[in-house]
């Protein structure tokens, strides 16, 4: 008996060593943790239950029969974060570059299937050279099995991808179909074709970092939701992020204890809107002042900064925030911000997360680039997402609610549950100057007349009262009482029930 136990211990030790001491050292030299070290940071101490530690690949071509490492380059299993269950896989770059074999894919699929059965999120730690080249199509089949599961799990359990090394070729499409992608600066990259192929095909010289590093994807492409400095920061913040999410689409987000009273007043909000209507201010200040303990987990902070998205808690419960940012491009909606907002609204809606929308926007961004880029269809994504969404929606217009963007941003007409405005709100088709230049075009040479007309338009429309008189605004609230009013609104909406008509699926303008 003792012999058998020793044998098991030896096999476990071999599996835990992955590709061996030398490759572990190389991994550390690159500033990266190993697959198992990462799981130790991500999960609660001692909570990890490893599965399939002894799985080996079955290929024999290219001397592969002699290159078997127990576990085959991916560590899979389940564990907890702050006591809440999740399933994980962590690719082990020390074993054949973390490449995906058929057996390796089966391990990932097994935990995804289990996660679906029990209704728990999946986090994937990606660090892989892609398809196991020696296995050919078997590896490609493995990827497709994972893709299929990503899609079936979408909207059922939250899926998070943390990219901590290479992620190239078709391998990028599994993370792309998960809900959130986090990347590590300088050690991770994602691209469909690498620098060598790019050079051959388009004659562009580019490094891996320039083509698909964390910086590129968190600022230019919008593929990554967040970029972190190193493995530890990425994993610790993934833990923090996980705390906001529900386990699945049938549950509500966890409610965490808070000492911050819902009735807290914020007198500083009474002076945050500048006297000059074109003067910017930072909408994040408003979000921080409304949130429990001033805690805002922002996503995509460096991409499409004219729209701010992320999670806060109100009286302990998760709320998704979507806010125009008047400090960037006057908070206008353009292609990138519309896509950014739409995807986030759909995530919140799929996972029962109420949405708090803050409006201060001059409308959709004009311009040839925007029109040629399809702002019609891209902007429609956000409109569609808000109109389709059935979770509680509370909206606050702080200043400008102009044009189509007024409609789009969770207006009453798109089933906004409670629509508030500050006294500083201006709900109109457009700004007074632009409006007068159109409807009084014949007076354009006469500065005096134009000034009078502008003032007249400003007085008539640059306020929230006309919208309130029609019931489009439920109440005009004092800025200092915003937190209390919004907390009460979401508390009232906690058990809201609203269903869309039955259909196979809608046809969002993709
Ligand atoms: C098998 C692989 C591998 C792979 C790396 N290795 N990638 N083994 N299949 N895809 C092995 C290497 O042979 C090496 O083994 C070890 O992993 C570490 O790799 P290095 O090259 O030494 O590491 P590094 O210099 O850091 O470079 C990492 C890398 C490079 C950039 C990822 O290994 C690389 O370019 N790999 C190939 C990438 C690729 O073309 N993959 C296929 C993409 S197509 P030893 O024994 O020397 O330690 C694809 C299709 C998916 O993925 C389709 C889905 C639709």
129 close to ligand 1 (CB < 6 Angstrom): yes
Looking at 262, 373, 404, 434, which residue is catalytic?
404
Mean pLDDT, all residues of the chain: 95
- What distance, in Å, lies between the first and last C-alpha atoms of the chain? 61
Q: Is 155 in the pocket of ligand 1 (CB under 6 A)?
A: no
Q: Of all helices (H) and strands (E), which one includes residue 49?
A: strand 49-51
- Judge whether 405 counts as a catalytic residue: yes
Look at 44-48, 409-413, 440-444 and tell me which has the smallest mean pLDDT.
440-444
Q: What is the DSSP string of 307-369?
A: EEEEEEEETTEEEEEEEE-TTTGGG-B-HHHHHHHHHHHHHHHHTT--EEEEEEE--BPPSHH
Per annotation, catalytic residue among 323, 327, 405, 462: 405
Q: Please give the residue that has the higher pLDDT: either 499 or 451.
A: 499
- Give the pLDDT mean for 338-356: 98
Q: How much is the pLDDT for 313?
A: 98
d(CA 121, CA 99) in angstroms, rounded, equals 23
Nearest-angstrom CA–CA distance, 479 and 425: 11
* Residue 404 falls in the annotated catalytic set: yes
Q: Which residue from 96, 97, 141, 195 has its CB within 8 A of the most atoms of ligand 1, so it is best to mutate?
A: 97
Transcribe 191-229 into DSSP letters. Answer: ESS-HHHHHHHH-----HHHHHBHHHHHHTS---SEEES
Residue 263 has, within 13 A of its CA and on its CB side, a CA count of: 0
Global confidence as pTM: 0.95
| Residue of the CA atom closest to atom 3 of ligand 1 | 129
| Residue 352 near residue 319, CB atoms below 8 Å | no
**CB of 169 sitting under 6 A from ligand 1:** yes
Closest to 106 (Cα-Cα) out of 68, 67, 71: 71
Clarify whether 341 is annotated catalytic.
no
Q: How open is the CA angle 352-340-84, to the nearest 5 degrees?
A: 40
pLDDT digits (tens, 9 = 90+) for 378-388: 999 999 999 99
Q: Quote the pLDDT of residue 58.
A: 86
CA-nearest residue, atom 35 of ligand 1: 129
- Residue 143 CB less than 6 A away from ligand 1: yes
Distance 226 CA to ligand 1 centre (A): 25
pLDDT classification of 240: cutoffs 50, 70, 90: very high
d(CA 510, CA 508): 6
Token digits of residue 453:
């007309």
Cβ contacts of 335 within 8 Å, gap of 6 or more: 370, 373, 374, 375, 378, 379
| Atom nearest to 166 CA in ligand 1 | 32
Strand stretches in 403-464, DSSP E: 418-421, 426-428
Task: Enumerate the β-bridge partners of residue 272.
Answer: none
* pLDDT tens for each residue of 427-456: 988 777 788 888 888 877 888 888 888 888
pLDDT of the residue at 440: 83
* Reported confidence tier of residue 149, pLDDT bands at 50, 70, 90: very high
Q: Closest Cα partner for 150 from 192, 183, 122, 188?
A: 122
**Active-site residue (options: 40, 144, 155, 170):** 170
190 lines ligand 1 (CB under 6 A): no
Looking at the CA of residue 208, tell me the nearest atom of ligand 1: 31
**Alpha-carbon span 285 to 397, nearest angstrom:** 15
Q: What is the maximum span of the chain, computed from C-alpha positions, in angstroms?
A: 101
The share of the chain scoring above pLDDT 90, in percent, equals 84
Ligand 1 atom nearest 97 alpha carbon: 17
Closest CA to 258 of 319, 310, 309: 319
- The CB of 96 under 6 Å from ligand 1? The reply is yes
- Matching residue, tokens 């990554």: 224
Does residue 100's CB lie within 6 angstroms of at least one atom of ligand 1?
no
Is the pLDDT at 293 greater than 80? The verdict is yes
Q: Give the distance (Å) from ligand 1 centre to CA of residue 186.
A: 18
- Residue 140 Cβ inside 6 Å of ligand 1? The answer reads yes
- The whole-angstrom separation of Cα 120 and Cα 107 is 17
Q: Which of 27, 31, 93, 129 to mutate to test the pocket of ligand 1 (most atoms within 8 A of CB)?
A: 129
Q: Which helix (H) or strand (E) holds 395?
A: strand 393-402
Q: Which helix (H) or strand (E) holds 180?
A: strand 180-184
pLDDT of residue 221 exceeding 90, the answer is yes
Q: Which tokens sit at 441?
A: 């075009």
Contact assessment for residue 305 and residue 218, using Cβ atoms and an 8 Å cutoff: no
Q: Which atom of ligand 1 is nearest to the CA of 133?
A: 9
Q: Is the CB of 27 under 6 A from ligand 1?
A: no
Asked if the model's pLDDT at residue 457 lies above 90, the reply is no
CB hemisphere CA count around 496 (13 angstroms): 23
- Whole-number Å distance, alpha carbon 154 to ligand 1 midpoint, is 29
Residues 111, 482: Cα–Cα separation, whole Å: 44
């Amino acid at each position: 008996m003792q012999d058998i136990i020793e044998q098991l211990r030896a096999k476990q030790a071999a599996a835990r060593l992955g590709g061996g001491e030398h490759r572990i050292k190389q991994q550390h030299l690159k500033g990266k943790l190993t697959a198992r070290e990462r799981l130790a940071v991500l999960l609660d101490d001692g909570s990890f239950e490893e599965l399939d530690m002894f799985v080996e690949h079955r290929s024999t071509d290219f001397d592969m029969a002699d290159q078997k490492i127990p576990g085959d380059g991916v560590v899979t299993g389940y564990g907890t974060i702050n006591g809440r269950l999740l399933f994980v896989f962590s690719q082990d770059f020390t074993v054949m570059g973390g490449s995906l074999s058929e057996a390796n894919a089966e391990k990932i699929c097994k935990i995804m299937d289990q996660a679906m059965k029990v209704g728990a999120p999946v986090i994937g730690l990606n660090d892989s050279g892609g398809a196991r080249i020696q296995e050919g199509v078997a590896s490609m089949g493995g990827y497709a099995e994972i893709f299929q599961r990503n899609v079936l799990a979408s909207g059922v359990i939250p899926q998070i991808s943390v990219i901590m090394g290479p992620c190239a070729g078709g391998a990028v499409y599994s993370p792309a179909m998960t809900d959130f992608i986090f990347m590590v600066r300088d050690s991770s990259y994602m691209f469909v074709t690498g620098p060598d192929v790019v050079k051959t095909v388009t004659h562009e010289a580019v490094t891996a970092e320039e083509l698909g590093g964390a910086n590129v994807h968190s600022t230019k492409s919008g593929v990554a939701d967040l970029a972190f400095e190193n493995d530890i920061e990425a994993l610790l913040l993934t833990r923090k992020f996980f705390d906001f999410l529900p386990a699945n689409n049938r549950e509500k987000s966890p409610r965490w204890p808070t000492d911050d009273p819902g009735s807290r007043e914020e007198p500083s909000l009474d002076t945050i809107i500048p006297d000059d209507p074109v003067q910017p201010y930072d909408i994040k200040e408003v979000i921080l002042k409304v949130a429990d303990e001033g805690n805002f987990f922002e996503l995509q902070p460096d991409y499409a900064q004219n729209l701010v998205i992320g999670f806060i808690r109100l009286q302990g419960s998760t709320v998704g925030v979507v806010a125009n940012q008047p400090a960037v491009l006057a908070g206008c909606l353009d292609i990138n911000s519309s896509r950014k907002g739409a995807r986030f609204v759909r995530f919140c809606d799929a996972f029962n997360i109420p949405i708090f929308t803050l409006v201060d926007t001059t409308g959709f961004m004009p311009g040839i680039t925007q029109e040629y880029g399809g702002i019609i269809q891209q902007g429609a994504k956000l409109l569609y997402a808000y109109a389709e969404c059935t979770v509680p929606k509370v909206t606050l217009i702080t200043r400008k609610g102009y044009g189509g963007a007024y409609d789009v941003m969770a207006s009453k007409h798109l089933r906004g549950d409670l629509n508030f405005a500050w006294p500083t709100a201006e709900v109109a088709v457009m700004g007074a100057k632009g409006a007068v230049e159109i409807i009084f075009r014949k007076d354009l040479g006469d500065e005096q007349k134009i000034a009078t007309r502008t003032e007249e338009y400003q007085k008539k429309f640059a306020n929230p009262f006309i919208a309130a008189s029609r019931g489009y605004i439920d109440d005009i609230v004092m800025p200092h009482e915003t937190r209390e009013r919004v907390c009460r609104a979401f508390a009232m909406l906690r058990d809201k029930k609203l269903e869309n008509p039955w259909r196979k699926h809608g046809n969002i303008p993709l």
